[in-house]
Amino acid sequence: MNNYYLTLVLKPNLEEKARKEFLDNIKKSFVKVTKEDFWGNKPLAYPIKKNTSGYYVHFEAEAEPKEIKALDKILKLEEDVLRYLLIRR
């Protein structure tokens, strides 16, 4: 089992209920979430998909490598994710 950092930038106009549901599904991919930070809406340095701001979320968690591959695929296909950074620490 490895430790990971995941930082997400979500669309700013995403409803609170939909955002919470999406983030709960992301947390299920991890075995254990050790830290969870909601940074809120922040301006972006440049427009991404015509958005000038994004909702930032950061996780520190433990997971199995094959679960992370599945999570990476989900994040690539999700339309509400503007950018993400998933790294092993």
- pTM summary value: 0.90
Q: For the chain, which domains are there?
A: 2-88 (3.30.70.60)
How many helices (DSSP H) and strands (DSSP E) are in the chain?
A: 2, 4
Chain-centre distance for alpha carbon 85: 8
The residue type found at 59 is: F
The CA-atom distances, in angstroms, between 84 and each of 44, 48 are 13, 12
- Do 59 and 36 contact (CB within 8 A), yes or no? yes
Give me the pLDDT at residue 25, please: 93
% of the chain residues with pLDDT over 70: 100
